[in-house]
Structure 1
Amino acid sequence: MRRMLFCGLAAFLWAHGLRAQPVPARDLWEFPLGAMFEPPALAVEPGAGLWNPATVAVPSGERFRFGVASLSTGSAQGVDGQLVAAAWRRSSGTTVGFSMGRAAVGGLVRTDSDPQSVGNIQYNSTLVNATVARALLPHLTAGAAVRWRHGRTDALSRHAIAADVGAVLHDLPWRNARFAVSSFLWRPGREIEDRPAINAAADLRLIGATAMREVRLGYTESAVNRGARERGPFTSARFDRIEARAAIIRSTLGNAAESRLRTGLALFHARYVVGIAREEGIAGLGPVYQFTLSSLFQ
């Protein structure tokens, strides 16, 4: 997926490429901003509901959740992303959330007839989300989101509005199993041009009796229409204030396939959760790092 982003970037800047993607920089939302530590369909930290609107739900007994996330490839020519989010659980049990994310490629320079730089090329996207989620049944939480997306590539700037839905089956009687599914950047009737994604994940408890001390095993899959597909197993282990995670993700696009490792560690202290995650670099790129911080308030 990363190889396709960078190798196709130069051609994408020309008018031929622009006609195929009305809102530029859709590829930047194939990077798991805020969801590298957890599968996108189940990602709770930093509580943005970015990839699955249902996960924005604030737990019973709490009122507010705030979170931030930062993603970086750590190279001169790479992707950087930032995310801020806030959610409020109303007395009715409905959670209302707001988040804003931005992703950009840096280090792109414009050249003329010689290798000397004559300026920088802008390639970025901003996503603003309004989300609502609510428990519909004892083990089912559902959510919906309205998203405004802006994309810029060089001198071209466009925007669009999308709507997404998601659901999470949680705390099921058999091994505390969970299953989640959601859409991402869905614009009815524009699926070919805007390439919406479907995210799904499921896991269950292998060892332990409570969420504070357990080992879980699951499987995640995300597929972009006419784009990359990611799938693979993941595992997590929590012991009181520390949680560790690992996933083996295999990406396929056409006949090309690559695998990489994602790892992460989170520290729980009082009402705060601090997390850091790393994804192995592929296609000659450096590793991707993510930092998250979230908190709950009554």
Structure 2
Amino acid sequence: MRRILICGLAAFGWASRLEAQAVPARDLWEFPLGAIYEPPALASEPGAGLWNPATIALRPGERYRFGVASLAAGSAQGVDGQLLSGAMRRESGTTLGLSVARAAIGGLVRTDTDPQAVGDIPYATWLVSVTGARELVPHLTVGAAVRWRYGRADQVTGNALAADLGAVLHDLPWRNARVAVSSFLWRPGREIDDRPALLTAADLRVAGTTTEREVRAGFAYDNVNRGAQEAGPFVSARRDRVEARLAHLRTDVGGESVNRLRFGLSLYYARFAVGVAREEGVSGLGAVYQFTLSSIIK
């Protein structure tokens, strides 16, 4: 874990010396790839630690976790994203992980002097993250991630190195409460260009006595620097192998507000977890759908 933190600090220093140049397609990382089903600060399926490095930590007795996620929005300019991740718990208790994520918008056509399309305009981004996390003291897990981001908008390309920190207070004595906080895409001194996000969420058990049979309720708040602010309550209910979630979110950006729902269903069987989720469309993009699959090897 110490090595991960040192690498993160080194990334901060390296990134702070880069020229103040924005990397294209930053807005695509405002779509919750791998986190429609859960608040980003608490998202553990498919276990990538993409939004909060601390959530990648595996519990004692778990050795490996692998996961994939796919996101798609139904519209003429369709947004799609993919995520592939893997994590390994070492004997020291530290979990190390690697994830590769991609997001893009298709259907952007190039026109000349008339409305006829003469080709597509590429608009896409990649994010590669190396993550480490461990439980420092009982009920407190912390994590750090070093990230390389690449973006392309037509003929303009760029890349940047960022580093993020996250923490989760979990299994607290009062109603099994959890509190999570994390940064996302932070380059010190480049906040205006990269627009890093602060992600927070908290929930507690309102009914039930075990993880396999419980009802939880909480609140999430995410703030993108010079961008959207998203907040709202969420609830989840699990009974044995089936879990359902629902969130009502309010997004404020550019002086306008939008309310929408996110909901999903997950099935646990043996060492596998399969999830499907939907978010009401905004800005004419249509509904957003997500599929996740993860597996734990003990």
Fold shared by both chains (TM-score > 0.5): yes
Q: Partners of 1:62 and 1:284 in 2: how far apart? A: 42
Amino acid at match of 2:244: A
Match of 1:100 in 2: 100
Q: Partners of 1:297 and 1:96 in 2: how far apart? A: 15
Amino acid at match of 2:224: V
Q: Partners of 1:255 and 1:172 in 2: how far apart? A: 38
Q: How does 1:60-71 map to 2 (within 5 A)?
A: 60-71=60-71
Q: Partners of 1:144 and 1:20 in 2: how far apart? A: 24
SS in 2 for 1:48: coil
Give a deviation string over 1:102-139, Cα, whole Å, max 9, x none: 00000000000111111110000000000000000110
- Quote the sequence identity (%): 68
Q: Partners of 2:175 and 2:125 in 1: how far apart? A: 40
Aligned-pair distance for 1:76?
3.1
Aligned-pair distance for 1:284?
2.8
Amino acid at match of 1:208: G
On the 8 A contact 2:20/2:190 being kept in 1, the answer is no
Q: Partners of 1:20 and 1:235 in 2: how far apart? A: 41
In the alignment of these two chains, the number of paired residues is 280
Closer, same or farther: CA 20–136 of 1 in aligned 2, 3 Å: closer
Aligned-pair distance for 1:213?
0.3
Match of 2:252 in 1: 252
**Over aligned residues, Cα RMSD in angstroms?**
1.1
Match of 2:149 in 1: 149
Give a deviation string over 1:194-243, Cα, whole Å, max 9, x none: 10000000000000000100000000011000000100000000000000
Match of 1:271 in 2: 271
Q: TM-score normalised to the size of structure 2?
A: 0.93
Structure 1: segments with no counterpart, 5+ residues: 1-18
On the 8 A contact 2:79/2:103 being kept in 1, the answer is yes
SS in 2 for 1:47: coil
Aligned-pair distance for 1:77?
1.1
Match of 1:158 in 2: 158
Higher mean alpha-carbon deviation, 284-293 vs 142-151, is at 284-293
SS in 1 for 2:233: strand
Q: TM-score normalised to the size of structure 1?
A: 0.93
Amino acid at match of 1:92: S
Aligned-pair distance for 1:21?
6.1
Give a deviation string over 1:46-101, Cα, whole Å, max 9, x none: 00000000000011101000000000002331210000000000000000000000
Match of 2:195 in 1: 195
SS in 1 for 2:32: coil
Report runs of 4+ in structure 1 exceeding 3 Å deviation.
none
Q: Partners of 2:284 and 2:120 in 1: how far apart? A: 23
Match of 2:286 in 1: 286
Structure 2: segments with no counterpart, 5+ residues: 1-18
On the 8 A contact 2:42/2:52 being kept in 1, the answer is yes
Give a deviation string over 1:275-297, Cα, whole Å, max 9, x none: 00000112333100000000000
Closer, same or farther: CA 116–254 of 1 in aligned 2, 3 Å: closer
Q: Partners of 1:66 and 1:76 in 2: how far apart? A: 32
